[in-house]
Amino acid sequence: MGKPRRYGCGMEHSKRIAVIGLGVMGGPIARHLARAGHALTLYNRTTERVARWRAAHPDLTVAEATNPAEASAGAEVVITCVGNDDDLADVVLGPQGVFSTLAENGLFIDHTTVSARIARQIAVEARDKHIHCVDAPMTGSQIGAENGTLTLMCGGRKDALEAARPVMSAYARRIVHIGKAGTGQAAKMCNQICIAGAIAGVAEALRLAQAGHLDVGKVYEAISGGAAQSWQMDNRWKTMSEDSFDFGFAVDWMRKDLGLALEEGRGLGVSLPVTGLVDQFYAEVQALGAGRQDTSALVRRLPRKGHA
């Protein structure tokens, strides 16, 4: 493909970047990087997703690869945002993986939410190949990805994080170095535990208000300015009251993340009873056929009084 168009955003610092995984988070990240003037190569297992990305951004010129190794060949930076541990291992460590072609002193940034174990394994492989490596799971939801306001919790060496920071600043508002490899993933588990507990509380409060025939808008006005306030309440109270869930972070992905947290807890000998309970609640939501709906669909397991 031809050279990417220039947008006057520090082009002296532009890099050759491969973005692997163009889902609800990876797609917007690629857009921000392209608009910042970086030269992008895109790869996604389903080529239709790349085609949709191109159609949505006709003003942006990018290259397309047929596998991760091809995407990484010649890249200075590789960014992955895929599904789970197995997906990441295949994309990075497989025969046609990123590490088969990424050059020495290259930079690898992973935004997938995975286990701390696979993050540490990849970091060891990266060290042996003299590749800078950062595990940087995200929070901020699809909205944050679209607006370029994500928070990244990062694990890896300090020099790797500092090399990654200028790139990640194109789509993140807050970048926090947690510690060594794998600690970014452990911090993300803490994040998901907090989210799950908050959603469960908001769901029960909403159903109680509805059962009491309260004006739910007034209830929100009253309680959202005090200690009960949360992102979940501010962003999901209204949509939950309207039974609107066709957006946001899917229940299926939350169950995957809570499973990682529960596994980590078992390994560390830490009891996570609330997390385990909410995970069971989400299993009920999946059984309702709502696995692809937003995590706020948790309220669906609590029928409205007088409704089936």
Mark whether 15 is an active-site residue. no
User: Beta strands 39-43 and 16-20: pairing type?
Assistant: parallel
Tell me which of 188, 218, 238, 305 is the catalytic residue: 188
Burial pattern 252-271, b for ≥16 Cβ within 10 A else e, equals bbbbbbbbbbbebbeeeeee
Q: What DSSP line would sit under 261-304, residue for residue?
A: HHHHHHHHT---HHHHHHHHHHHHHHHTT-TTSBGGGGGGGSPP
- Nearest of 12, 2, 55 to residue 31 by alpha carbon: 55
- Nearest of 15, 66, 6, 64 to residue 35 by alpha carbon: 6
Residue 23: burial class (beta carbons within 10 Å; 0-12, 13-18, 19+): middle
Q: Which two tokens stand for residue 248?
A: 């946001």
Q: Which two tokens stand for residue 64?
A: 């397309």
The catalytic residue positions are 188
